[in-house]
A and B are shown apart, each in its own frame.
Chain A
Amino acid sequence: DTEVTQTPKHLVMGMTNKKSLKCEQHMGHRAMYWYKQKAKKPPELMFVYSYEKLSINESVPSRFSPECPNSSLLNLHLHALQPEDSALYLCASSQVPWYGYTFGSGTRLTVV
């Protein structure tokens, strides 16, 4: 298995909803990442988990809450989002931090 699997592929949520994005890999990678990508822009780093510990939080608002329950799974919990949070959310993993990257196909999030 050489993939990073993200679910759901599409999500529409209201500003008062609570939802979660899921990312899974079974490559034995020890670093996992959340990126946010707006249209026609490069991805922006949100969070990095290294050996299941949060190592980087790029000043992301608290309405985004990451969780890494185990080395294969990364969640992003969403609560009270704003319409400007609508974007493609990409998960990635790497063998060790910053080496040997694999990206997921993303979750297209729309906040209404």
Chain B
Amino acid sequence: KNEVEQSPQNLTAQEGEFITINCSYSVGISALHWLQQHPGGGIVSLFMLSSGKKKHGRLIATINIQEKHSSLHITASHPRDSAVYICAVIPTGNQFYFGTGTSLTVIP
């Protein structure tokens, strides 16, 4: 059983579309991260959330602690957004649990 579930696994969008990636988790957490990984590349931390909503440029992340659910939204998607997006949670005082990732392809 995976403590962190992401959906969808794969996503193809046209440039300009609004994109949503969902993350559900089953453990109590102290924080949740959204991570981005380009093909063959390292991981970039996009957001760390423990409550509410954060926005950075065209990216918005929300978390509902009671429902154990988080979403990552990308507005006005662009081909350079094509990457794997990974949700990772940190149970209190414990290590990361990673989701299996959502592979996003944005077509021009």
Instruction: Specify which chain B residues have a CB less than 8 angstroms from the CB of A99 in the assembled complex.
Output: 30-31, 90
| CB under 8 Å from chain A, chain B span 38-61 | 40-45, 48
Contact status B48-A43, CB under 8 Å? no
Q: Is A56's beta carbon under 8 Å from chain B?
A: yes
Q: How many residues of A contact B (CB 8 A)?
A: 22
Check B41 against A101 for contact (C-beta < 8 Å).
no
Q: A98-B95, A99-B31 are in contact. Are A105 and B100 (CB under 8 A)?
A: no
Q: Does A103 contact B (CB under 8 A)?
A: yes
**In the docked arrangement, what's the CA distance between A56 and B100, Å?**
23
Is A42 an interface residue when CB atoms closer than 8 A count as contact? yes
Interface string of A55-87 (1 = CB under 8 A from B): 010000000000000000000000000000000
Complex Cα spacing A91 to B104, Å: 24
For B22-44 the 0/1 string (1 means CB < 8 A from A) is 00000000110101000011111
B11 CB to closest chain A CB, in angstroms? 15
Q: How large is the interface on B (under 10, 10 to 19, 20 to 34, 35 or more residues)?
A: 20 to 34
Residue of B nearest to A102 (CB): B45
Kindly list chain A residues whose C-beta atoms are within 8 Å of the C-beta of B100: 41-42
| B95 close to A48 (CB less than 8 A) | yes
A45 contacts B95, CB within 8 Å? yes
Pair B44/A45 contact, Cβ less than 8 Å: no
Q: Is A25 an interface residue (CB 8 A)?
A: no
Please, could you name 27 A-B residue pairs with CB atoms under 8 Å apart, sorted by A?
Answer: A41-B100, A42-B86, A42-B88, A42-B98, A42-B101, A43-B43, A43-B98, A45-B95, A88-B40, A90-B42, A90-B43, A92-B43, A97-B93, A98-B95, A98-B96, A99-B30, A99-B31, A100-B48, A103-B35, A103-B42, A103-B43, A103-B45, A105-B42, A106-B41, A106-B42, A106-B43, A108-B40
In the complex, besides A56-B95, A90-B43, A101-B45, 17 extra interface pairs with C-beta distance below 8 angstroms are A42-B99, A42-B100, A43-B43, A45-B95, A48-B95, A90-B42, A98-B31, A98-B95, A98-B96, A99-B30, A99-B31, A100-B48, A101-B48, A102-B45, A103-B43, A103-B44, A106-B41
